[in-house]
Structure 1
Amino acid sequence: MSLITNVMDHSLDDGYAEAAARKKADGSGGMPRTLRAKLGLAAGLVLAALVVTVGAAQARVAAPAVAKEREELIDRIEGETSAADRLEESVDTLRDDVSARQREALEKNGDGGRSDLMGVLSGAVEVHGPGVKLVVDDAKEADTGGDGQPRGTSGFSDTGRVRDRDMQRVVNGLWESGAEAVSINGQRLTALSAIRAAGDAILVDNRPLVPPYTVLAVGDGERLSTRFQDSADGLYLHALQENYGIRTAISAADDLKLPAAPSLIVRTAQPITEKGTS
């Protein structure tokens, strides 16, 4: 009877309670760690899926507006481009009209040939005819020259690159050799043109050029080519090729076409009076 009384007075709940307390103190009580990790991962995946879903929904809502803005921007660009093309055509038409009126006025005075010649020499009119095509390009490995020596202390640090003063000498040599009109990469040169450097770029009338530099010169092709190559500037270009690897190629052409110089402005003009008149 004493055993039954002891079991009744002291139940097993106290032992279970003591064991649970020890597990809790050791950190092993409650939910298992593996289960807690799985639940945390599941919660993170649910949160990520929710964020992606919300983002996709917002993108779907904003897509029509973005597409509309893009179409409007494209329409504006195309409209402005068309307007610029029309203005350019108008400028060309007006330039041709001015040139025609000038020739007409000079022909009345028996001096139409001078007008054509002045238009060619000044770059005011488009020119085509035989001439020379000269291509100048940087060396294949443009870090150092052939002997590793720098070409002076000013200008580009890269001795294998074509510099502004090189192009100046090329153009001046062509003029001196008898060229009637010259262009570089499609830009017509005039008496007011300037070839300068800005950093590592060569500028012609403040417009940057990209190598290779294609120089077109209208004139007596074979004679112009020979005279240029025999001139001091032609020999200078040949020395750049031999010593620094700068690539050059020159050839005579039967028909070259050079555009008129853009935005050519007549700054001053005076009527020509015949000698002997008062």
Structure 2
Amino acid sequence: MSRWPVQTLTAAVFALAGLIFVTSANTAKGTDIRTDSSLLKLSDLIQQRSEHNAELDESTAVVRTDIDALARRDDGSTEAEDAELDALEKAAGTTKLTGAALTVTLNDAPPDATANPGYPEPQPNDLVIHQQDLQAVVNALWEGGAEGIRVMDQRLISTSAVRCVGNTLILQGRVYSPPYRITAVGDRGDLRKALEDSTAIQNYQLYVKAYGLGWRVDEDDKVTLPGYSGPVDLHYAQPVE
């Protein structure tokens, strides 16, 4: 048997191995290819966009106030019509609301959390606040007759969606981390009872007892909720033609 094919094959194998090493080096560019720097850059970008959205919300609120003032000036409306407009704005959540309030604070379990006696060891998902936890509190407060609700520093309206990605809250284009604060203006007795009667919150309380998830309810005699200052246009899907 000739040695030439064997030598050729051996040379080809070494050449291929060298090509793989060179390609890998060029891809890594001298860095750890397992680094999470890209994730950190994405996180920074999200935070920057969140801050930018907050600035836009503030500027929108100022412009909306000016527009409302101009619209009301010499518009020829009657007192009854003005009163009806005020009531509609209050119901829509676009104006400030002041009154007695109840604030619920939810938080992740401590980093070193372990199970209390009688409970199984926790899984990672057992130790963080989830979207359904926040939604359960919001739903209970509405059920309890809340006149208005603020989540963190934003007023909720009928089209607001409370969404979580991982352990961060995304609300109306802005990103928040725990602890999460939910404030409702209304009858504090009714609001508290609605929280106690909620099946979803009763389930959450089991995790509070088992693993130390955060739960606190505070009452205030007077709180002013901001008016919603974001866009109010409805967006909906359209069929593709």
TM-score range, shorter chain: 0.5 to 0.7
Amino acid at match of 1:203: I
- CA distance in 2 between counterparts of 1:125 and 1:99 reads 11
Aligned-partner SS, 1:172:
helix
Cα 1:132–1:105 shift into 2, 3 Å: farther
Say yes or no: does 1:252 pair with 2:219.
yes
- CA distance in 2 between counterparts of 1:107 and 1:227 reads 40
- CA distance in 2 between counterparts of 1:142 and 1:194 reads 32
Contact 2:150–2:183 (Cα < 8 Å) also in 1: yes
Instruction: Name stretches of at least 5 consecutive residues in structure 2 with no aligned partner.
Output: 1-51, 236-241
- CA distance in 1 between counterparts of 2:58 and 2:209 reads 44
Cα deviations by residue, 1:112-161 (Å, 9 ceiling, x for unpaired): 3332232223221122211111111111247666534668xxxxx43111
Cα 1:255–1:150 shift into 2, 3 Å: same
**TM-score normalised to the size of structure 1?**
0.55
- Tell me what 1:228 maps to: 195
Contact 1:131–1:253 (Cα < 8 Å) also in 2: yes
Contact 2:196–2:202 (Cα < 8 Å) also in 1: yes
Aligned-partner SS, 1:197:
strand
1:1-278 aligned within 5 A: 88=58, 91-100=60-69, 101=71, 108=78, 110-141=80-111, 146=116, 147-148=119-120, 157-267=124-234
Cα deviations by residue, 1:183-211 (Å, 9 ceiling, x for unpaired): 11111111111122223322122321111
Instruction: Quote the RMSD (CA, aligned, Å).
Output: 3.2
- Equivalenced residue count is 179
Contact 1:187–1:259 (Cα < 8 Å) also in 2: yes
Cα 1:103–1:244 shift into 2, 3 Å: farther
- CA distance in 2 between counterparts of 1:218 and 1:260 reads 13
Deviation (angstroms), 1:225? 1.7
- CA distance in 2 between counterparts of 1:258 and 1:129 reads 9
- Tell me what 2:14 maps to: none
Cα 1:243–1:265 shift into 2, 3 Å: same
Runs of 4+ residues over 4 Å off in structure 1: 102-107, 142-146
Higher relative contact order (CA 8 A, sep 6+): 2
Amino acid at match of 1:174: L
Cα 1:144–1:102 shift into 2, 3 Å: farther
Amino acid at match of 2:154: Q
- CA distance in 2 between counterparts of 1:103 and 1:229 reads 47
**TM-score normalised to the size of structure 2?**
0.62
Contact 1:222–1:252 (Cα < 8 Å) also in 2: no
Deviation (angstroms), 1:250? 0.7
